[in-house]
Structure 1
Amino acid sequence: MTPDAKTPKVRASEAFEARLNAACAALSAGFFVSDAALVPVRFMERTIGRTDEAHARSVAQLPGASLRGGALVLPQNLEAFGGAMRDAGLSQGWRGELLDLRVLEGVDAQPGDVVGRMERALFRPLGAATAAVHLVGHLRRPASEADPVFILGRRSASKLVGPGLWDGLAAGMIRAGESPAEGLAREAAEEAGLERIEAADLRSLGRAWISRPVRGGWMHEMSFAYALRLPEGWRPRPVDGEVEHFEAMSALEVLELIEGGRMMKEAAQAMLLAFGRLLAS
């Protein structure tokens, strides 16, 4: 049994719980936006994404792609085609990082089946499905909603998405061939310098499907959230430059960031789930 498990839960104030419930409802409402009007993107006879009509028409002008039957059809050579999208200014930057390309729907395939690998910068423009991890780090079980036990990182001003917004201890997309646990361990080491995660200190907060428009395309993503009681005496340090600095905050301070739109939405969701576990309802 971990020290956290031995410590009785505390009860959050009614005012905090009311604000927490309102924030959860508002966030959840924006996490699934109907994509029925989007153009399906097909690869090897399977739907792997959905994107807006204007973007689909632009992509269809590239060699090997076409609009057929109301869908954007991609060629089989995704590596060469990805380079063509980049050169045409139709990608979301370029990372040199591969993610698993998964089926959204298909007659002879199950949603989630991996059908290839593709450059990360193409996923949002094509509305292809991604998977990501979000880690809530806390020093101990909070004594109240005003106890500053949660460690947050402020995103670098140079980030393409959400520059300057607050994030959890670590977050990022799961790379090709990785499991959620492997992705979580890698992101924690790369972003916060946490080299080892003890299974006894880690809690799964669940997963959620996200479908909503984002800058440069559409997000279709499975988000895996975790909470971690951090090792005693350990302090985070920005390693890869994606985080500007870290701060310890209370649940109340974090909630104020969320209400003010100053936190990444997926990180906010993970934080709210953690509050529900660590502060008794």
Structure 2
Amino acid sequence: MLPKLMPLSPSKLAITLAILPLTISATYLVYLNHRISRECTISASLRNKKKRINTLPPTLPLPTSLPREVASDESEEWILAHERVVLSRPLHPSALPSYDDNLSTVLTHYVRATMTAFSWTPQAFILRASVGDKGVRETFDTAYILSLDFCEGDRVNGFWKIVYRGEVGGHQGSERVELALDAPDGYKGPVVRGLVVAGVEMRDDGEVVFVNETWMWRREGEAPVLLEGRVGGWLHELLSGWLVMKGVRALTEGKGKSE
């Protein structure tokens, strides 16, 4: 049973904005962890030049919308944390009813499903309650999310804005959507810097891989971001893996929304 939701202090709301996972029982967390470990491959990395730490894979494409000063490999001012979740079992395009010789439509349906699934989590209800603007609250509605094509400038679930849609570096025919954490007008809480990347990648063998990435960054001396913590990072991995599985399930079942 979910605990009763209580008002959040600004510091706790900041953590929520960083996409804390579902508030669920310990038993279900264990079950979910087991299932995700079987169905998803998860990796985490960190770049902290001042401490001489850099575990980011050298071939990993950086998000197009990552600020230049943060993307710079020479900067000691910024600490960059990364999480990548990939569905372990590639799918043949024939298993995807929305496939029409390119992955653009598949990506649209995939992101619709993952964002719809997130909109029904306790965190989404808390975020929705934190904004007063009716138009912003409507971006949490299922009907609104299912109407989106996820083009640059679109806003979804209140606090995410699409800042890039296009090809994935090194993956011909693949496509990704980059969503920046962008607090709506009127929000007075702490600022959280981050990007969520949802991608559909075509492999050389013709099969499709679904990807979810989270990028978070902070200045040297600021409090560690969620992905840097052992517990926070693990919990975030559960949410990311759950969203990937929900999105792919909706696609393979030919449904326009997650259950």
Using the size of structure 2 for normalisation, the TM-score is: 0.25
Using the size of structure 1 for normalisation, the TM-score is: 0.24
Point out the structure with the larger strand share: 1
**Larger RCO of the pair (alpha carbons < 8 Å, separation 6+):** 2
Higher-Rg member (1/2): 1
Point out the structure with the larger helix share: 2
